[in-house]
Each structure stands twice: as structure tokens, then as C-alpha cells.
Structure 1
Amino acid sequence: MRHIVNAACGLWVACAAPVLAEQVVVVELYTSQGCSSCPPADEFVAMLASDPRILPLALHVDYWDYIGWADRFAQPKFTDRQRAYAAAIGSRTLYTPQMIIGGLDRIEGFSPDKTAARLREHLALATRVTLTVTRNGDTLAIRAEADPPLTEAVRVQLVRYTPAETITIESGENAGRTITYYNIVTSWEGLGDWSGDAPLKMNADFSGDQPGAVILQTTGPAGIVAAARVD
């Protein structure tokens, strides 16, 4: 939890040439309903989600629950994921809000200018992995190819999320506030590993109405090499 850097913001991401609808830059927001510094970042998720090239995902952590309000969306596994990111760079410190862009760039506190700058960099990167996800009923067909081949295996992950939900917070640092949260992650599961050499061909269950995403990420967790939105 840190002080807010900028409360009012806009996303200054320059328009680029059209890209495949499936290709997105993933922005993970680690947040908590019990964090007084988080609401501006929570609202910022809606702005990010309006850009089809960007997929913001809000992962609610549970380590602020003790100060008076248990976050209704928090899961211990999301705290574990944030802790793994910290450990990957030799740190034990966890922040809310914290944004992690593409699995690599970490932004502690709410800094829309810095976030926009990092997003511009990620959007300008050429991808070496072509990822296509096709939904047929309750089944996803996941296909990927790397050119040139990857030098290390990546984890294939399936994320599901709720687009929006409004919560009235009755106690804790945000007591009395009614806040709408966006792209609330409900599950983040590993489907297996891909060597990045031969083409990837994998199917996965995708029942229910929640949207989701397929994310290919190097272990650590570290860089996300490709991501596809699934509606």
C-alpha cells in the first residue's frame, strides 16, 4: 500500500495499426478492497479495458483483510502469484496497488503516466509467437507457433474473469465507499507447458459465460510471450 501518485489520469497510448483481435498486452493489477490507495487504480482498469489491444486483469489479494474488511474477491493463490513475482527479482516486498505489464514491468503505486509509457513500449514490440484461440461451444482450441523457436519453455495458462461488479464496503480503510471493480480474476489455472519448438496444439474446457484469456508465459513468473482474449 502506497500513497497515490496521480489521482486524475488519461491513457496516452498512441494508436497503432490494427492487430489481430486475439493479441493483447496483459496488465495485472494487484489490488485490495481494504487498501485506501487502490480505488484510483481500480477505476483505471476500466479505461485500460476500453482499448482492445490491452487486457487488464485485477487480482485481489488477501493480506490486507486483517485491517477490517475481508476482500470478497481475494484468493490466497493471487497473493502467492504476486509473491512469486517479487521473489523472481529477489524481493519480499508486496505492494498494492501494483501493476505488472507483460509479466516484466512492475509499477508500484498508481502512476498512469508511467503505465502509459510502459504500455507504449509493449505495444510497439514485435511478437515472435503467433497465438490463436478458437472457441467451439465449451471447448477452446489453442494453437501457437514461434518464429524463431523459443529458447525456453513457457507455461500455458487459462484465466477467467468477471467484467464488472459493484461492492459497498462497510468497514476498513474504504468504509462507506461503493466501488465498481473491473475484470476481476476468478481463476488462473495452468494447462501445461509448451517447448516453443514444435507448434502448440491444445484443447481446454471453457464452460460458462465468463470471459477469459489464454496466456503463454515464461516461468518465474516472467515475460508473457503471447496472450489471447476469449469472449
Structure 2
Amino acid sequence: MRLVPLAVVLLSLLLPQVGRAQTSPVVIELFTSQGCSSCPPADALFRELAEEPGVIALALHVDYWDYLGWRDSFGSPAFTARQKAYAKAAHSRRFYTPQMVVQGNERLVGHDAVRIVRSIAAHQALPAAVDLDVDLEDDLLNIRLTPNGVPVGTADVHVVRYMPSSEVEIEAGENAGRTIDYTNIVTEWDTIARWDGREPVDLAYRLTGDEPVAVIVQGSRSGQVYSAASLP
């Protein structure tokens, strides 16, 4: 008998109650590490969430657990810096793994399925603050931003590339001897523009390689995700 994943059950229960006003996907970022013994349950939950419609799930592997004896093969100091920036925006010094950040403004324990799914459902019930149109012509990514009503203020435009999946055999550290499946592993995170949030704007960004791409429009100060889109 095949068991239905917990996240799928929770989403089916919560989403009909709040409706789906969101006109763009909800972004969830998982800060995780191959060297963190508490992370595998969050990695498994994240894998379930990544398969849900209306969600862009991005895994950012940090490097601050590498000293425990295993260097995360996907880890980057840039992702550690991004997580610290979220903590600073929340006027906190605390950051940890596993941690999920939902829509740029809600920081949650990465394996707390109930709170995470509830947060995703709540954000899906809200209208997107920015209309985002994205299309790909050969290797040129075309992006158009339009305020959806009231101007949102200064926003950063991010282009993110990610690896859909990878199985890793961990040979040392807290997870020594385990083989873990990782999902939507971020490989590149480029901030390509800063937008005033007032007038429509057209941007173009040249892509290389064939990894999937996500575009995120995020408040420069608040960290709130105003809109997002992805292409396979």
C-alpha cells in the first residue's frame, strides 16, 4: 500500500478552505546542509512540497556545518549570507538548519509540516503584488514587471538556476553512512536588476546551460516576495 505524503494531505485539507487568489507561485526556500543530522526530515518534506502546484521550492545549502567533518558538495557562503540577511531583516541573530522561508517573510523550522503548509496556503490566498510575465526565446530570458495596483517600492529581480535532483552518499560527519535524495538544489543565484516598483519594465537576461530557471521579484528591504515564475 502506498502512503500519501503528509504535505499532500495537509495541502488538500487547507487549500480549499482559504481559496486560491494567488496569481503567481509561492516561493519556499529551504536552508539545509548535508552535514546536519536534523535536516533529512526537512529535505523529505521539501521534496513533497516541490511537487505541489503553485509552489516554487528552492534548496539553498549552507556551508557553516562543514567543520563537522563533511563538506557539503552543494554548499555556498553566498547561501549562508542570504540566510543571515533574512535573520537581520527579522531583527534576529538566530539562523539554523533546517529552516524554511516562505515568500521571503516567514521563517519556520524546516520539518514543521503543519506550520509550513498553513503558511503556503495563506500566501496562496493573497493576490500577487506584481504581475510577472516570463518567456524564453532561444537562450534569452525576457521578463516584464508591472505593479498590480499600488506601487510596491524598490524590489530586486533574481534569476535562479537549480538542479532538479541529486542523490548523495555522505561518508563523514553527522549523516555518515546515509544516502540522501536532494531536490531543486540551487546552483546559481543572480540579482540582475533593482526595480523602483512604480512603472512597468522589460528586462532581458541571457541564459547558459539547460537547468530549470526561476525568476523572483523581492522587496529590497522587506524581503517579501512580490511575484515569481519558473520555467523547466
**Residue matched to 2:6:** 9
Q: Which amino acid aligns with 1:147?
A: N
Separation in 1, partners of 2:53, 2:207: 21
Separation in 1, partners of 2:69, 2:175: 10
% same residue: 43
Of 112-121 and 11-20, the range deviating more from structure 2: 11-20
2:38 equivalent to 1:41: no
Note the residue ranges of structure 2 that are not aligned, 5 or more in a row: none
Deviation at 1:220, TM superposition (A): 3.4
2:33 equivalent to 1:32: yes
**Residue matched to 1:211:** 212
**Residue matched to 1:159:** 160
Separation in 1, partners of 2:110, 2:225: 22
Q: Which amino acid aligns with 2:208?
A: S
Q: Which amino acid aligns with 1:10?
A: A
Separation in 2, partners of 1:70, 1:211: 25
Q: Where in structure 2 are the equivalents of 1:1-231 lying within 5 Å?
A: 9-11=6-8, 12-13=10-11, 14-15=15-16, 23-220=24-221, 222-231=223-232
SS of residue matched to 2:226? strand
Work out whether residues 131 and 145 of structure 2, in 8 Å CA contact, stay in contact via their aligned partners in 1: yes
Q: Which amino acid aligns with 1:169?
A: I
Deviation at 1:207, TM superposition (A): 2.0
Deviation at 1:93, TM superposition (A): 1.5
Separation in 2, partners of 1:32, 1:115: 19
Deviation at 1:128, TM superposition (A): 2.7
Separation in 1, partners of 2:26, 2:22: 12
Work out whether residues 26 and 101 of structure 1, in 8 Å CA contact, stay in contact via their aligned partners in 2: yes
Separation in 2, partners of 1:210, 1:117: 30
Q: Structure 2 vs 1, CA of residues 158 and 18 (structure 1 numbering), >3 Å: closer, same or farther?
A: same
Separation in 2, partners of 1:10, 1:128: 26
Work out whether residues 149 and 196 of structure 1, in 8 Å CA contact, stay in contact via their aligned partners in 2: no
Q: Structure 2 vs 1, CA of residues 38 and 81 (structure 1 numbering), >3 Å: closer, same or farther?
A: same
Separation in 1, partners of 2:196, 2:20: 30
Work out whether residues 22 and 128 of structure 2, in 8 Å CA contact, stay in contact via their aligned partners in 1: no
SS of residue matched to 1:81? helix
Deviation at 1:43, TM superposition (A): 1.3
Q: Which amino acid aligns with 1:9?
A: L
Q: TM-score, normalised by structure 1?
A: 0.91
Separation in 2, partners of 1:151, 1:175: 46
Separation in 1, partners of 2:58, 2:132: 19
Separation in 2, partners of 1:64, 1:50: 28
Work out whether residues 84 and 220 of structure 1, in 8 Å CA contact, stay in contact via their aligned partners in 2: no
Separation in 2, partners of 1:9, 1:220: 34
Deviation at 1:108, TM superposition (A): 2.2
Separation in 1, partners of 2:163, 2:65: 22
Note the residue ranges of structure 1 that are not aligned, 5 or more in a row: 1-7
Separation in 1, partners of 2:143, 2:110: 35
* Structure with the higher helix share, 1 or 2: 2
Separation in 2, partners of 1:112, 1:62: 24
Q: TM-score, normalised by structure 2?
A: 0.91
What is the number of residues matched between the two proteins? Answer: 222
Separation in 1, partners of 2:115, 2:21: 24
